[in-house]
Structure 1
Amino acid sequence: MQKTTSQKTKLGIMVLSGVLLFTIAIYLIGEKQSFFTQSFEITSVFKNVKGLRLGNNVRYLGINAGNVESIDIINDTAIKVTLKMDLKTKSFIKKNAFAKISSDGLVGDMVVNIEPGPGFSEGIEDNDQIMAYDPIATYEMLSTLSETNENAAMVTAGILQITNSINKGEGTLGMLVNDRKVAQDIRQIIKNLKETTRRSATLMEKLEDVSTLIKSDQNLMGVMLNDTSIASKVRLLINDLNSTGKEFNTMSKTLNSLINDLACGENSLVNTVAHDSLLKNDLKETLENINSGSQKFDENMEALKHHPLFKGYFKDKKDKKRKN
């Protein structure tokens, strides 16, 4: 049976339609990678999707877990990306997870990577929105790097200028580096400081020993500082010494007067013992002892006046005397 032209035309149209439908179906299945699997959807809002396209892979911890379902522009700073995820990953993704767009290799397609967030969080639900992480753009990094290079160049130029000044001996630092005499003086100063520090440490050790000895009540100074009853006894002793000194001075004056009387009378003792050399020597030795004892006593009293423990007492007594 011969086929008519119309039948051939109809057959050609049917074949072309079948091929076209098959091509469309293959394309749709390619776009819908999870077409035959159970899935759920989540969204994330980015500032820049960096060339992300429909059907690009979505990865969770580096594992393919879905694909990009849709990309919608909300405004000039927000782009909503809908992700179709494999239902098997739902129990692992938490609400605090975040999404970021990166390249699949150096020249590969863009992919959406989902990373778990810090801390504990509840499991994600269908149509939940997770936080988006927008990394720094390449041009921003290049701009920052360029500015950093300029600053580094300025710092290098400044350091070079300072180095040249030091090499020329300019400024204080240059003088210290290039002048040997200054360096020697500094070494001597450091040496003197070390010696002073050593002596200070030795002095402090001695002062600590003296302080410990005073506090131990094993010497006169410690007893006088720590025993309050000693102060009154010392005052009495000083009063007695003052009285003794006054009496000693009076006795000395009396002896001088007596000696004058004895020397001037006709029947004086001088005339009596003028020819007795032994008695004369005894009297001379006695007077010398008296004068020596009086002088030593005055020196002791003067030393007591300047002693730190009795200085306040004599000062108070002097003030009272002035008031009277």
Structure 2
Amino acid sequence: MQASDNRRKITVGAFILLGLAIFVIGVFTLGSQKKAFVKSFSVSVVFNDIQGLKTGNNVWFSGVKIGTIKKIQFYGTSQVQVFLNIEEEAHKYIHKNAAASISSDGLIGNKIIVITGGTPKFPFVEDGDQLQVNTTLSTDDIMKTFQVNNKNLVDVTADFKLLARGLVEGKGTAGALLADEKIANDFKAIVSNLKSTTASANKMAAELDVFSKTLNTKGGLTDKLLTDTAVFAKLQASVDELKKTAGSAAMLTENLNKASSKLNQTDNAVGVLLNDQKTAEQVKMIMKNMETSSQKLDENLEALQSNFLLRGFFKKKAKAEAEAAKKNP
């Protein structure tokens, strides 16, 4: 009886020891997973929306788990402050300008916090520091964007459906081109005319190219004008002479204009004779008197030749003129 009790006590003690061993192993195992027995420091982040974060969720840095969420509390009016336990080993990689963002462990996994290390020009983060927030699109935002894109895609598909129906029914310009044979034939004719016009333009361009090449023929007039300095100098001299001639003609025309304008004025002798009737009458009278005087002078000379006192003088003069004419027939 006593031996049976001792055996029972030994069995119970063994089970108790085994349970304690399992408990200790479990505590250390969970502690190692939660980094409970690793030296760490604490930092915090203030989010506008923690998107379902919970105490105990993991903290990642460059794809490596470096800590857990220690505490979550409200901050200010509507923000949330999250305290993080970070392993001391990660301290030398996280700088004061590091930023934290909320992400997911997989597409539909638990929420996690992801920390970016910052830049080396800033000092390392210290215990109790507050990290800045890296605003990125959350899964919900991505899903909202997908919903908007799906709606837009449905709208675009509906528009294409209406467009296709209009094309089949011959509505609009494109539909008319597809459904109306006459319009299609007219369009073909326009394209054909355009091809003919293009061909004509190409032919004209080719002819212009040939003509330009003939202008550059060695020894031609155009070639001499462009390359022979002597011909160009002569041409330039001719142009200068033409300019001079034109200038002289212009001056002559101007002088003639001035002279003709003088004929219409009475401040010169010719203008007076042409425009003043009284003066013209006086000139006519003078010419008439001169004619009468000349006639009377001729009569007086005849009378003098008949005078016996001068008859000998005129006879001698007539004889001398006759001898001179014989010597110089």
**Cα distance in 1 for residues equivalent to 2:248 and 2:174:** 62
**Cα distance in 1 for residues equivalent to 2:123 and 2:93:** 7
Contact 1:54 1:70 in 2 (8 A): yes
1:303-322 mapped onto 2 (5 Å cutoff): none
Say if 1:163 and 1:32 are closer, same or farther in 2 by CA, change over 3 A.
closer
Normalising by structure 2, report the TM-score.
0.53
**Cα distance in 2 for residues equivalent to 1:193 and 1:76:** 77
- Aligned-residue Cα RMSD (Å) equals 4.1
1:1-324 mapped onto 2 (5 Å cutoff): 33-105=34-106, 108-117=109-118, 120-126=120-126, 127-178=128-179, 179=181, 180-206=184-210, 208-209=212-213, 212=216, 218-224=219-225, 227-233=232-238
Which AA in structure 2 matches 1:195? A
Contact 2:167 2:175 in 1 (8 A): yes
**Cα distance in 2 for residues equivalent to 1:77 and 1:210:** 88
Contact 2:95 2:117 in 1 (8 A): yes
Contact 1:72 1:80 in 2 (8 A): yes
**Cα distance in 2 for residues equivalent to 1:313 and 1:207:** 35
Aligned residue-pair number: 223
Which AA in structure 1 matches 2:175? G
Contact 2:216 2:222 in 1 (8 A): no
Which AA in structure 1 matches 2:85? K
- SS across alignment from 2:83: strand
**Cα distance in 1 for residues equivalent to 2:244 and 2:185:** 56
Contact 2:96 2:131 in 1 (8 A): yes
**Cα distance in 1 for residues equivalent to 2:112 and 2:193:** 69
Residue ranges of structure 2 left out of the alignment (5+ in a row): 1-19, 257-329
Match of 1:280 in 2: none
**Cα distance in 2 for residues equivalent to 1:196 and 1:98:** 70
**Cα distance in 2 for residues equivalent to 1:318 and 1:52:** 106
**Cα distance in 2 for residues equivalent to 1:108 and 1:59:** 14
**Cα distance in 2 for residues equivalent to 1:122 and 1:101:** 23
**Cα distance in 2 for residues equivalent to 1:314 and 1:170:** 75
- SS across alignment from 1:91: helix
Contact 1:177 1:183 in 2 (8 A): no
Which AA in structure 1 matches 2:234? S
Which AA in structure 1 matches 2:82? V
**Cα distance in 1 for residues equivalent to 2:245 and 2:171:** 63
**Cα distance in 2 for residues equivalent to 1:233 and 1:131:** 89
- SS across alignment from 2:158: helix
Say if 1:96 and 1:202 are closer, same or farther in 2 by CA, change over 3 A.
farther
Which AA in structure 2 matches 1:229? K
Q: Structure 1, residues 247-266: CA drift from partner, whole Å, max 9, x if none?
A: xxxxxxxxxxxxxxxxxxxx
Say if 1:207 and 1:111 are closer, same or farther in 2 by CA, change over 3 A.
same
**Cα distance in 2 for residues equivalent to 1:137 and 1:147:** 15
Q: Structure 1, residues 103-160: CA drift from partner, whole Å, max 9, x if none?
A: 334564332222345x654342213332323444555444443333333333223222
Which AA in structure 2 matches 1:201? A
- SS across alignment from 1:90: helix
**Cα distance in 1 for residues equivalent to 2:145 and 2:61:** 31
**Cα distance in 2 for residues equivalent to 1:168 and 1:322:** 81
Q: Structure 1, residues 80-114: CA drift from partner, whole Å, max 9, x if none?
A: 21211111111122334322222334564332222
**Cα distance in 2 for residues equivalent to 1:234 and 1:102:** 90
Which AA in structure 2 matches 1:102? S
- SS across alignment from 2:130: coil
Between Structure 1 and Structure 2, whose CA radius of gyration is higher?
2
Say if 1:169 and 1:54 are closer, same or farther in 2 by CA, change over 3 A.
closer
Contact 2:60 2:114 in 1 (8 A): yes
Match of 2:286 in 1: none
Contact 1:101 1:110 in 2 (8 A): yes
Identity, % of aligned positions:
23
**Cα distance in 2 for residues equivalent to 1:139 and 1:39:** 32
Which AA in structure 2 matches 1:219? G
Say if 1:97 and 1:205 are closer, same or farther in 2 by CA, change over 3 A.
farther
